């Protein structure tokens, strides 16, 4: 399958990048620490170069960490659960995500989470699916916050059901995604953000497929993006 070929690639890439990092860092330390010349300006230059190398090595290590956690994404462990419980769990996570996106002060974005009063019974791995919906919510908040930095951004997370399926959708009033990119956004490493890894939606897709479900993207009634996850309903008990 396409996603698991990417996972394999991520694993190998992570490995190839990780191995040389320690020797690079040690070599930079060595150069800096063993200089015993008199040239003060040169000693400063060495220190500066070492700091840059160490910082960039740390960044690469973090990136490699992301790659390998994508490569190691576990198999879903499915059990009967209620999509509304998932929605409530997401509700609890909202303040922390707003704080994260606003870098310490909560981003002024209005987030509503709704669910039907009746349980929506599906088979799911609650932790993995929550991770997926969390990624969708984070994306939505980031994009409306960027579009409306001083308020006015709105995100709706809604769980509902039809005859045969349970749904959880995340939609926003941000800039949306142009139609020609609707497929690409799910590709691993596709990102338009300076600090993005582009793995968020690839993880969502993988998680949803493991649930025997589907994830779709279209335009939200509010004008932004709408991502909806569809899961088969369990037969009534
Ligand atoms: N709600 C949204 N509104 C507008 N664009 C979106 C939205 N969600 C995703 N995108 C687009 O899809 C791209 C891929 O999203 P994805 O979550 O996979 O990676 P990312 O958010 O860029 O990086 P990361 O998730 O690692 O922080 C984003 O860079 C953005 O361009
Ligand atoms: Mg993301």
Q: What is the pLDDT of residues 78-108, one digit of tens each?
A: 999 999 999 999 999 999 999 999 998 999 9
Residue 6, pLDDT > 80, answer: no
Residue-level pLDDT at 71? 78
Site to substitute for ligand 1 among 101, 140, 196, 206, most atoms within 8 A of C-beta: 196
Mean pLDDT of the chain: 92
Cα 133 to middle of ligand 2, angstroms: 11
Q: What per-residue confidence (pLDDT) applies to 2? A: 64
At how many degrees (to 10) do helices 126-147 and 200-210 cross? 150
Structure tokens at 125: 């791995």
Q: Count Cα atoms within 13 angstroms, Cβ side, for 128.
A: 22
Contact 115, 91 (CB under 8 A): no
**pLDDT tens-digit readout, 120-138:** 999 999 989 999 999 999 9
Tokens for 181, please give them.
Answer: 């990119």
* C-beta 173 within 6 A of ligand 1: no
How many CA atoms does the CB half-sphere of 161 hold within 13 Å? Answer: 18
Query: Looking at residue 11, what is its pLDDT?
Result: 82
Task: Say which residues have a Cβ less than 8 Å from residue 70's Cβ, sequence separation at least 6.
Answer: 7, 10, 188, 199, 202, 203
Cα 161 to Cα 82, 84, 210, 214, 237: the distances in Å are 11, 10, 20, 14, 16
| Nearest ligand by distance to the CA of 185 | 1
- Any ligand 1 atom below 6 A from CB of 132: no
Render pLDDT for 165-214 as a digit per residue (tens, 0 to 9): 999 999 999 999 999 999 999 998 899 999 888 989 999 999 999 999 99
Decide which of 6 and 122 is more confident: 122
Please tell me the predicted confidence (pLDDT) of residue 166: 97
- Segment among 7-21, 106-120, 121-135, 158-172 with least mean pLDDT: 7-21
Which H or E run contains 227? strand 225-232
Name the DSSP class of 74.
P
Q: What DSSP designation does 76 have?
A: P
223 lines ligand 1 (CB under 6 A): no
């Amino acid at each position: 399958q396409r996603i698991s070929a990417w996972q394999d690639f991520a694993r190998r890439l992570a490995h190839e990048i990780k191995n040389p990092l320690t020797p690079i860092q040690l070599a930079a330390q060595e150069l800096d620490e063993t200089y015993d010349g008199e040239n003060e300006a040169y000693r400063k230059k060495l220190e500066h170069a070492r700091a840059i190398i160490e910082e960039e090595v740390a960044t690469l290590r973090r990136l490699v960490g992301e790659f390998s956690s994508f490569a190691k994404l576990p198999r879903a462990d499915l059990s009967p659960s209620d999509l509304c419980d998932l929605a409530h769990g997401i509700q609890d996570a909202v303040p922390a995500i707003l704080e994260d996106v606003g870098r310490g002060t909560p981003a002024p974005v209005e987030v509503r989470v709704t669910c039907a009063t009746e349980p929506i019974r599906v088979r799911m791995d609650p932790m993995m699916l929550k991770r997926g919906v969390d990624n969708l919510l984070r994306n939505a908040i980031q994009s409306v916050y960027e579009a409306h930095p001083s308020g006015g951004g709105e995100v709706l997370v809604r769980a509902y059901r039809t005859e045969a399926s349970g749904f959880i959708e995340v939609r926003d009033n941000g800039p949306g995604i142009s139609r020609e990119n609707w497929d690409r956004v799910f590709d691993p490493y596709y990102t338009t953000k300076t600090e993005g890894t582009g793995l968020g939606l690839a993880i969502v897709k993988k998680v949803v497929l493991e649930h025997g479900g589907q994830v779709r993207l279209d335009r939200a009634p509010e004008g932004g993006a709408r991502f909806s996850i569809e899961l088969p309903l369990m037969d009534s008990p």
